[in-house]
Amino acid sequence: MAAARPVTEQEARDAKLPPKAQDALRSPSHPFEGIPQVGTFFYESDGDYRFCVGTVVTSPGKNMVASAAHCFDSNDRKRNLVFVPQHHVKVPAPHGKFVIKTGSTYMYPSYLSRGANAADDLDFAFLKTEPRSDGKKLQDVVGSIPLSLNAGFTHATTRVIGYPYLPGDDKYKPKQNPLDCTTAMTKFTTGDKIVNGKRWKGGSFPEIHCDGYVAGTSGSPFLIPASGGAGYGLAGVTGGWLTGGQNANISYSSYFDNDVKRLFDAAVEGHPPADPSDVLPKAATWTHAKDIASGYFTLAGAVEDDAMDMFVMWSDGELTLYRGAGPDKNYFDKEFRVQPANKFWADHAVQVTAGDFTGDNGSDLVVQWNDGEVTLYPSVDEKGFHGEQQLMPANATWTHATEITAGRYGGNQWQDDLVVRWSDGELTVYQNTGTKLGKEIQAVDPKKNPLWKHATEIGSGDYTGNDTWDLIVRWSDGELTNYRDFTGDPTGWKESKLHGPDKTWEHALIVTGGDFSDNPHPDDTIVRWSDGELTLYTEGNATDIGQENRLVAPPNGFSAPRAVPSGAPSPVTPSEAETSR
């Protein structure tokens, strides 16, 4: 072990040192003797080489350290490690050493098996320590820092403590003071990137600017003021985008969200963590989904390269985002709580839809309230709302809006045309809606065509691949219809029956279109069924809803086939004569 080196994955953290060694230590970073809750790792059988940084986090067993996953590969999991809190030059082990036994390092299997480039937003790990030689537990000796989960990306004051790789022969010096830096945390968003033939997964990452935080600082804590103002909370560790950064002065972290909590809970219980690839809750929970909107909320690059996300409004007022991903991750790979359970939203929010009403490529949210008020929330993202615009004050008319959806319906290049179905069967298009409702077009006159009272669900998508989107309608008898290239003009509708009346489809309570598959078109459809089953139909077209993909199984694990009766009659369009349905 005399020639031991840091793990292979940590090499990806290597950044070019400044020309002069002292430049690595210039303001705002400076060396100091550390704090008790932050330390570094050694191999148990070798005290000459240290690597990475760990932070003691509050845990029931009083024995947990948080760090970056890329610091520990499959071989390191088989070797005993030692955590040394507040290691510094004068007293290298002021609080003693704490052994981490084989099998006590916890990270997600997808990160361990695929490597950092395949799961860049899961670059965090928890390690359980043994008691000190005198029997005292780690947390009892040095204290701890609680996890700060879903705390957002922006914090004016963030403290980062790290042990950098040093120039010269010492490199990972066995006796070394850490760097201390206080800076602002900001949000960095990027698309995927190919480096040396490997694809690194983009996304949104906390970013900090601290000089000299080069290789060796992996796992350094991102400490933000704790709620209530006393002490710190751990909101990140150096790692994630390109394994923590490729620049000596800029570092990143995977976002600390519910995936961190799941891994922490697994470590506390002492069992291998389940991969977070299936982040969607079970069917029983989905029966409480009040409405779903599809949009680019966690935008990671150009729209055409990104999958849409699923925004869910729950019956208790909680608002959740599920980030779009590929089929190998069940189409959604990350859960963000935009808002916890909220009585006001639970009692007063009726329905939501998403579109690009502000023209910035990100998705905005339109909310209809039970008093008839209609509100626009521009640029909703993982952290929540950023502004509010009232499209319509409280009024009696809008209390009769039973369904709303948004698409590109002949106004311009944006998904900013709002379609509303009213309780009397009228259908209205508000074209080019922005911070106020757009041009009003009556698409269905209920007096001329009362059959539209039977339109139960409406959704938007581009199933025909044209610039003008299509309107999907689920009728009360379970029939499903696509109105191609819909503009609201009642004389120019092109009707395609996706299937005729169907008893099973009468249980499709929420139907929303979006872009969730590999092609760049919003030709996919999410359906939430009455028993909580969730289904995604991918790559539909003018006459076919697409390939069925079960996202969430029904409670009994079995659902009836989606039968399509042959020879079923077509629904009547507004341009046809009134006949019996």
Domain boundaries, the chain: 22-269, 283-552
DSSP state of 242: G
Count of other CB atoms within 10 angstroms of residue 33 = 14
Instruction: Say what the pLDDT of residue 325 is.
Output: 81
User: Does residue 327 register a pLDDT over 90?
Assistant: no
pLDDT at 196: 72
pLDDT value, residue 259: 86
- 285: enclosing H helix or E strand: helix 283-286
374-377 and 332-339: which strand pairing?
Answer: unpaired
Q: What is the mean pLDDT of residues 197-218?
A: 83
Write down the pLDDT at residue 7. Answer: 44
**Res 379: pLDDT:** 82
Whole-angstrom distance, CA of residue 180 vs CA of residue 177: 10
Span 162-169, average pLDDT: 72
- Both tokens of 417, joined, read 């045309």
Q: Which numeric CATH code is attached to 22-269? A: 2.40.10.10
Average pLDDT value for the chain: 83
- pLDDT tens, residue by residue, 414-430: 899 999 999 999 999 99
CA distance 354 to 526: 14
The CA-to-CA distance between both ends of the chain, in Å, stands at 81
Point out the least confidently predicted range of 17-21, 291-295, 460-464, 556-560.
17-21
For domain 283-552, give its CATH number from 2.120.10, 3.30.1330, 2.40.50, 3.40.190.
2.120.10
**Please, how many CA atoms are within 13 Å of residue 216, restricted to the half-sphere of its CB?**
26
> What's the whole-number mean pLDDT along residues 279-308?
81
Give the pair of three-digit tokens for residue 44: 């148990």
**pLDDT band at residue 178, thresholds of 50, 70 and 90?**
very high
Distance CA 528, CA 294 (A): 13
Comparing 277 with 447, the larger pLDDT belongs to 447
User: Which has the minimum average pLDDT: 47-51, 126-130, 372-376, 405-409?
Assistant: 47-51
d(CA 154, CA 172): 32
Mean pLDDT within 167-195: 78
**pLDDT of the residue at 557:** 52
CB 532 within 8 A of CB 286: yes
Structure confidence at residue 303 (pLDDT): 47
- pLDDT value of position 299: 64
Flag whether pLDDT at 576 surpasses 60: no
What is the percent of the chain with per-residue pLDDT over 90, rounded to a whole number?
52
Q: What is the dihedral of CA 255, 257, 260, 262, to 10 degrees?
A: -160
Instruction: Determine the pLDDT at residue 16.
Output: 40
- Whether the per-residue pLDDT at 27 is higher than 60: the answer is no
> pLDDT tens across 47-105, in order?
566 789 999 999 999 999 999 998 886 555 446 789 999 999 899 999 999 999 888 89
Torsions phi, psi of 304, nearest 5?
Answer: -70, -15
pTM, full prediction: 0.60
Rounded Cα–Cα distance for residues 485 and 230 (Å): 58
Query: Alpha carbon of 543 to those of 431, 463, 482, 547: distances in Å?
Result: 26, 9, 8, 12
The confidence score (pLDDT) of residue 171 equals 54
Cis preceding-peptide flag for 146 (omega within 30 of 0)? no
Q: Residue 117: CB partners within 8 Å, gap ≥ 6? A: 195, 198, 199, 200, 201
Give kind and range of the element (H or E) at residue 160.
strand 155-162
Per-residue pLDDT averaged across 133-156, rounded?
A: 93
The three-class DSSP label of residue 26 is coil
User: pLDDT band at 5, cuts 50/70/90?
Assistant: very low
Span 223-241, average pLDDT: 88
- State the DSSP H helix or E strand holding residue 183, giving kind and residue range, or none if neither: strand 179-190
Residue 39 has pLDDT above 90, yes or no: yes
Give 282's contacts (C-beta < 8 A, 6+ positions apart): 532, 552, 555
Confidence of residue 561 (pLDDT cuts 50, 70, 90): very low
